[in-house]
């Protein structure tokens, strides 16, 4: 008699899992979420770059006008005006006439605008600065300052910048980046015909290019400039560069700022006391 195997066969275990379709759908959802997160990150990065660029632009505007204002306001200053005659303190010498404070001409690179030259003196140990920020406070001898502002660009692939020279244009120190152009106008009184008149009212602003004609009509014009209007054009950090997507609302490549700066000595003020 044969023995029967009374043990029953165990049922095969059931293994659950994801189908290929389910995995594909999950991957698509994940990719969609990742794309959204990347888009948000990219937008945040662009917004941060824009804010940084605008903050730098505002700093550059403030620094440039502060430096230029300090120099222009000091124009024509010299110590002890009651004891020192103007012809010895601000003598004639190309391109200046006796007593002339400012002078300007076209930038050698026409697209960069104009140049501006301002001169004044400082007594020994007197706290008067030049356009590089150097003071005469620690110098035991008098100093004669001739400050020249000019926009320079080292090459076509580098940004332009505002620079100044205190050695007659031989060397320039960089002051502010991304200044694309400087335009200068001079506040004059057309009724002031005597050289080095004080306190006359400004009745017109003459552009640098028009000053030679104004001098032809009135030879005392350069010695009777009472204020200077400076217009600086800065590179717009939000302007779209070639090959990049257009930034909405940013159609101007340059942003301009203008300031009228009075020459204190022509208004009867002592620049040292004013500072």
Tens-digit pLDDT profile for the chain (275 aa)? 555 555 555 555 555 666 777 777 778 777 777 777 777 766 666 666 667 777 888 889 999 999 999 999 999 999 988 888 888 999 999 999 999 999 999 999 999 999 999 999 999 999 999 999 999 999 999 999 999 999 999 998 899 999 999 999 999 999 999 999 999 999 999 888 899 888 788 999 999 999 999 999 999 999 999 999 999 999 888 876 555 555 555 667 889 999 999 998 887 655 444 34
pTM to 2 decimals?
A: 0.79
pLDDT at 275: 42
pLDDT at 120: 95
Rounded CA separation 77/86 (Å): 10
CA 256 to chain centre: 10
pLDDT at 236: 87
The answer to whether the bond into 101 is cis (omega within 30° of 0) is no
176 close to 161: Cβ distance less than 8 angstroms = yes
Tell me if residue 73 falls in helix, strand or coil. Answer: helix
Rounded CA separation 84/88 (Å): 7
pLDDT at 126: 92
Rounded CA separation 206/186 (Å): 5
pLDDT at 11: 59
- The two beta strands, 173-177 and 204-207, are unpaired
Which residues, 6+ apart, have CB-to-CB distance to 255 below 8 Å?
Answer: 57, 233, 234, 236
Phi, psi of 77 (to 5 degrees): -70, 145
Which residues, 6+ apart, have CB-to-CB distance to 100 below 8 Å?
Answer: 90, 222, 223
202 close to 227: Cβ distance less than 8 angstroms = yes
Which residues, 6+ apart, have CB-to-CB distance to 61 below 8 Å?
Answer: 232, 234, 257
Rounded CA separation 107/121 (Å): 25
């Amino acid at each position: 008699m044969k023995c029967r195997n009374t043990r029953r066969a165990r049922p095969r275990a059931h293994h659950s899992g994801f189908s290929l379709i389910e995995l594909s759908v999950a991957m698509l959802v994940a990719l969609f979420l990742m794309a959204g997160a990347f888009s948000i990150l990219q937008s945040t990065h662009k917004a941060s770059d824009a804010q940084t660029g605008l903050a730098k632009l505002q700093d550059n505007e403030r620094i440039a006008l502060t430096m230029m204002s300090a120099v222009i306001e000091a124009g024509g200053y010299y110590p002890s005006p009651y004891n020192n005659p103007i012809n010895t303190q601000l003598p004639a010498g190309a391109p200046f006439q006796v007593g002339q404070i400012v002078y300007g001409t076209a930038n050698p690179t026409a697209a960069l605008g104009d140049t501006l030259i301002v001169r004044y003196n400082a007594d020994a140990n007197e706290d008067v600065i030049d356009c590089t920020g150097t003071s005469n406070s620690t110098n035991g001898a008098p100093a004669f300052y001739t400050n020249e502002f000019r926009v320079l660009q080292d090459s076509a692939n580098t940004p332009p910048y505002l620079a100044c020279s205190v050695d007659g244009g031989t060397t320039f120190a960089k002051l502010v980046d991304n200044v694309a152009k400087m335009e200068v106008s001079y506040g004059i009184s057309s009724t002031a015909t005597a050289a080095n008149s004080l306190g006359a009212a400004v009745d017109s602003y003459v552009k640098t290019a028009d000053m030679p004609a104004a001098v032809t009509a009135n030879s005392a014009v350069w010695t009777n400039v009472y204020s200077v209007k400076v217009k600086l054009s800065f590179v717009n950090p939000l302007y779209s560069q070639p090959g990049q997507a257009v930034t909405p609302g940013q159609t101007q490549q340059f942003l301009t700022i203008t300031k009228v700066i009075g020459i204190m000595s022509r208004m009867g003020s002592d620049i040292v006391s004013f500072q």
